[in-house]
Amino acid sequence: MNKTFLLLLAGLFSGGVALAAEPAQPRYNTVTLQAEAQREVQNDLLNATLYVEANDATPAGVANIVNKTVNEALRVAKEYKSVRVRSGNNQTYPVYSRGNQLQGWRGRGEIRIESRDFEAASVLIGKLQSGMQLANMGFSISRETRRAAEDELAVEAIAAFKARAEVLRKALGGRGYKLQNVNVSSGHNVPQPRFAMARAAPAAQEVVPLNMEGGVSVITVTANGAIEVLE
């Protein structure tokens, strides 16, 4: 074998050994800890779903009844500029007797409401319930409000993490500590408000608007990680 080639090969192996990463040094006095910041935030967003159901001998008959009601609801909703309204699920399906004989057709149509203006939404829902039923209604925090609260709470959570780290450092008699890692996460809990859902009124009678209280959601931001206490 060529002597020059052997020398080059030996140089590559020796270089590889020299460049190999040194094993990580073990860390002592490592402490994991967690801190959190929490706040109640006023719910500022309402979501509701209203629906209409109809029966007829034909699918076309069902569709006509449902579509007419939904279209009228969307027309009325346009008068409320602060309320966002859109069509929801729409379906038609056959109805059978116990003898598996086709009896007719049944259909359902929905509209969905979203608004930060609770008063306007309440009035609109009351009007629409003259021909539709309220399937569900709930309150939550808008994306903008939640993000602003989480940003503020993140600062508080980090401050609480540092304060707890200092307490643990003193308890262990260390001269200081080194931050190894920290993770920040957030979540929120929405207590469900309690109110009675009014059913559709007979004839064309409008439903009295419901007084709405959105309640609050609890936002929590957590900081957890590890520190190395220095001796």
Name the domain boundary from 90, 121, 140: 140
pLDDT confidence tier of residue 206, bands split at 50, 70 and 90: low
Residue 231 confidence class, pLDDT cut points 50, 70, 90: confident
What pLDDT shows up at residue 211? 72
Report d(CA 215, CA 209) in Å as an integer: 18
Domain shared by 168 and 117, yes or no: no
Q: What is the dihedral sign for C-alpha 85, 89, 93, 95?
A: negative
* Average pLDDT of span 45-73: 95
**Domain count of the fold of the chain:** 2
CA–CA separation, 102 and 109 (whole Å): 22
> What is the pLDDT averaged over residues 137-163?
95
Domain boundary among 88, 107, 140: 140
Separation of CA 214 from chain center: 16
> In sequence order, which residues have a C-beta less than 8 Å from that of residue 224 and are 6 or more positions away?
32, 33, 34, 35, 161, 182, 183, 185
CATH number at residue 73: 3.30.70.360
| In the predicted structure, residue 23 carries a pLDDT above the cut 80 | no
- Which pLDDT does position 24 carry in this prediction? 59
Question: Does residue 169 sit in the same domain as residue 128?
Answer: no
Domain, as residue range, for 214: 26-44+142-200+210-231
Reduce the DSSP state of residue 204 to 3 states and report it.
coil
Tens of pLDDT, residues 210-221: 677 788 999 999
Q: Is residue 13 part of a domain?
A: no
> In terms of domains, do 124 and 103 share one?
yes
Q: Are residues 112 and 153 in the same domain?
A: no
- In a domain? residue 19: no
pLDDT band at 29 (very low <50, low <70, confident <90, very high): confident
Q: Give the residues across from 115 on adjacent strands.
A: 46, 83
For residue 25, the model assigns a pLDDT of 61
- Claim to verify: residue 136 and residue 178 sit in the same structural domain: no
72-129 pLDDT tens trace: 999 999 999 999 999 999 999 999 988 888 999 999 999 999 999 999 999 999 999 9
Domain stops at, among 124, 140, 156: 140
